[in-house]
């Protein structure tokens, strides 16, 4: 009613915020049905513990993302290129040190590769690191991330970090 009056009067108000309040109209239905009130009160009481669990999960993801930043920053942007060209010979990270994947004959390990998954899977900044750790915890493509981490030059075994990540993410969250 209020938005209709304001539109008729011709006031120069931004009515989009008032129209968004229309979403709350079905909540008037709750006052007439007692069983629905019980359900909504139960959901509201459960929101606080769920928020605490969500914050714990976010803290764990943030912790593993910071560990990933420390160990793997910039490691996913080098791959094997054909010698004398700018064409990549492979779509996996490589390294120059012994634990990393070494390029074959006729190729050289260079930087300036976009990275796996079109550059989305990396540990270059905290946001992409959080996204990559979240992908690992949800177990959707985490094996590919493990292989990419293993292919790059490492000082720490990725298996230890990934096993801890999977144990915490899978079983406790």
pLDDT in tens, 135-153: 888 878 777 777 777 767 6
- Maximum separation of any 2 CA atoms in the chain, in Å: 78
Specify the number of domains making up the chain: 1
The single residue listed with the structure tokens 């390990």 is 109
Describe the crossing of helices 126-137 and 158-166 by its angle, rounded to 10 degrees. 60
Q: How is residue 114 written in tokens? A: 């976009």
Show the domain range for 118.
50-172
CA torsion, ordered 77, 81, 87, 93, to nearest 10 deg: -30
pLDDT at 9: 59
**Domain assignment present for 31:** no
> What's this model's pTM, rounded to 2 decimal places?
0.64
**Domain assignment present for 5:** no
**Domain assignment present for 13:** no
User: Rounded to an integer, what distance in angstroms lies between the CA atom of residue 130 and that of residue 71?
Assistant: 14
**Domain assignment present for 45:** no
**Domain assignment present for 7:** no
**Domain assignment present for 156:** yes
User: What phi-psi label fits residue 124: left (phi over 0), alpha (psi between -120 and 50 degrees) or beta?
Assistant: alpha
**173 residues of the chain, pLDDT tens digit each:** 555 665 665 555 566 666 777 777 777 777 778 888 888 889 889 999 999 988 988 998 898 889 888 877 877 778 888 888 878 787 777 777 767 777 778 888 877 777 777 878 888 889 989 988 888 888 787 777 777 777 676 655 666 666 666 666 666 55
**Domain assignment present for 78:** yes
pLDDT tens-place string over residues 18-28: 677 777 777 77
Of 1, 14, 121, nearest to 68 (Cα)? 121
Query: What is the 3-class SS of 85-138, one letter each residue?
Result: CCCEEEEEECCCCCCCCCCCCCEEEECCCCCHHHHCCCCCCHHHHHHHHHHHHC
**Domain assignment present for 123:** yes
């Amino acid at each position: 009613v209020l938005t209709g009056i304001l539109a008729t009067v011709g006031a120069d108000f931004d009515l989009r915020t008032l129209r968004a309040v229309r979403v709350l109209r079905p909540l008037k239905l709750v006052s007439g049905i007692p069983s629905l009130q019980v359900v909504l009160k139960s959901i509201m009481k459960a929101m606080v513990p769920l928020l605490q669990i969500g914050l714990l999960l976010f803290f764990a993801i943030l912790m593993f993302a910071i560990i990933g930043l420390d160990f793997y920053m910039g490691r996913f942007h080098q791959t094997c290129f054909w010698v004398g060209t700018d064409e990549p010979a492979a779509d996996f990270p490589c390294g120059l040190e012994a634990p990393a994947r070494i390029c074959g004959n006729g190729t050289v390990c260079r930087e300036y590769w976009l990275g796996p998954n079109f550059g989305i899977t990396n540990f270059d900044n905290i946001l992409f690191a959080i996204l990559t750790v979240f992908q690992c915890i949800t177990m959707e493509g985490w094996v590919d991330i493990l292989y990419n981490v293993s292919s790059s030059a490492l000082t720490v075994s990725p298996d230890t970090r990934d096993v801890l990540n999977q144990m915490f993410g899978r079983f406790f969250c």
